[in-house]
Amino acid sequence: MKIFSHGGHRAHEARCELVPGELVPTIETADRIDLVWGVLAERGFKAPVDCLPLTAADLLAIHDLDYLSFLETAWDEWTAGFGDEHDGIAFVWPHRNRPPRPPRAIEGKLGYYFFDGVSPVTQHVWSAATGAAGAARSAAEHLLASGKSSFALVRPPGHHACRDMGGGTSYLNHTALAASTLAASGARVAVLDVDAHHGNGTQDIFWKNSDVLTVSIHTDPADDYPYFSGYADEIGGGAGEGFNLNLPLQPGSTMEIYSVALDAARARIHDFAPDYIVIALGVDGYRGDPSGKLNLRQEDFSRIGEAIAALKLPRMFVFEGGYDKAALGDCVARVLEPSRRL
């Protein structure tokens, strides 16, 4: 298994995020990559290939130009108005059931283009996100060229980033970019999101697409983030109707319950008969994770990895959530192990 990354992610380190009732230090930190790679190195994986960042033009297949233009210049606008002592975080959010009107003021733009307060704009957010996107595209190109498995070991995460807005510490959707790169070859592609939170951005990007099947197993959004997306009756629209499957689970679900959803996901993917599968690899379903509400043990991630490998499909993985620093690397490695020699 070939691993792709982007060292420039280290410069992006948010100071804080807004959670219910308070501003707290962010849990999406640069050392997450080091912790994962440390375990993978111990288990014999080869060192990551460092990839170049993409440009806004490279991302138009999955994101709108106005959102990309905002994200590229947001830090400069923020510091021009408020200085560089604090990261840019919104304090007001719109209802998008009216004609869209992006404000001129940067504090308004932050609320318009980000749907939460855990996605701060920092000086290096654009370079980190485009670098991660570059690694994801390179991983997809490697899979296309060789048929061999790959892993985009990247941050910040991506699966919450929609076509025209970000959130959930996601700014660009690397999982969707990988799927789009594969689909552009004429292939049928399935996305399986095993992060503890719904992949709302990936769902949004492929909502009307029948060439990409999106499947997400996550905590019920009635009880957990992102709250407004990820319900079972969201099945896609237009040409994509029937090509989106959400499998929400109750908080506290163990592997016994998770495995039922995983079997349903595998059955739908099998029926779709894709040429490739992209796994949005979040491990925040681990019982000790500070952001998740599921109850998976470390050994359960081996079962998830084995179930993915049993699909016998050419595959790639994109790193998403996972914030328990003691277990993070082991959980990721357990999912990857069954695919490492393919």
For 51-96, write each residue's pLDDT tens digit.
999 999 999 999 999 999 999 999 999 999 999 999 999 988 876 6
Contacts by residues 69-74 (CB-CB < 8 Å, ≥ 24 positions apart)? 70/102, 70/109, 70/113, 71/113, 71/125, 71/126, 71/129, 71/166, 71/171, 71/172, 72/126, 74/106, 74/109, 74/110, 74/113, 74/121, 74/125, 74/126
User: Can you read off the two tokens belonging to residue 327?
Assistant: 């277990």
- Identify the pLDDT of residue 342: 76
The helix, strand and coil proportions of the chain, stated in percent and rounded to the nearest 5, come to 35, 15, 45
Domains annotated for the chain, with CATH where assigned, are 2-63+127-339 (3.40.800.20)
Contacts by residues 258-267 (CB-CB < 8 Å, ≥ 24 positions apart)? 258/217, 258/285, 258/294, 258/296, 258/300, 258/304, 259/303, 259/307, 261/217, 262/217, 262/304, 262/307, 263/307, 265/192, 265/215, 265/217, 266/307, 266/310, 266/311
Query: Who wins on pLDDT, 17 or 96?
Result: 17
The mean pLDDT value for 201-226 works out to 98
* pTM check: above 0.95: yes
- Cβ atoms of 2 and 142 within 8 Å: the answer is yes
For residues 19 and 113, what is the distance between their CA atoms, to the nearest angstrom? 18
For residues 27 and 184, what is the distance between their CA atoms, to the nearest angstrom? 34
Confidence band for 230, pLDDT divided at 50, 70 and 90: very high
What CA–CA distances, in Å, run from 126 to 8, 76, 122, 123?
10, 11, 8, 8
For residues 266 and 76, what is the distance between their CA atoms, to the nearest angstrom? 45
Q: Which residues are catalytic?
A: 160
Average pLDDT, the chain: 96
Confidence band for 97, pLDDT divided at 50, 70 and 90: low
